[in-house]
Amino acid sequence: MSPKELRDLSIEELAAKTGEFRAELFNVKIRKETGQLENTAKLRLLRRDIARAETILREKRGADE
């Protein structure tokens, strides 16, 4: 997901999206370990999406205080 799309979300939506990314990362890790994952780059992309979402969330929470 692009940073622009993440910045357009509210704090609650952004927190929910981060949770979705984390759940998907867990599922992808399980699929990798069982040998069912063909695209291993998905792990890296998900970790980056989580970091991106949490950074924007931290920026928004800091701006509200």
Which residue, 60, 45, 48, 50, is CA-closest to 8?
60
Q: What is the CATH number of domain 3-64?
A: 1.10.287.310
Distance CA 50, CA 45 (A): 9
Question: Mean pLDDT across the stretch 36-45?
Answer: 95
Domain extent listing, the chain:
3-64
Q: Which amino acid appears at position 15 of this protein?
A: A
63 pLDDT above the threshold of 90: no
54 pLDDT above the threshold of 70: yes
Per residue in 10-27, pLDDT (tens digit) is 999 999 999 999 999 999
**What's this model's pTM, rounded to 2 decimal places?**
0.89
Q: Assess contact for 22 and 50: CB atoms under 8 A.
A: yes
- Beta strands, E only, 1-65: none
DSSP summary character for residue 8: T
pLDDT at 50: 97
Average pLDDT, the chain: 94
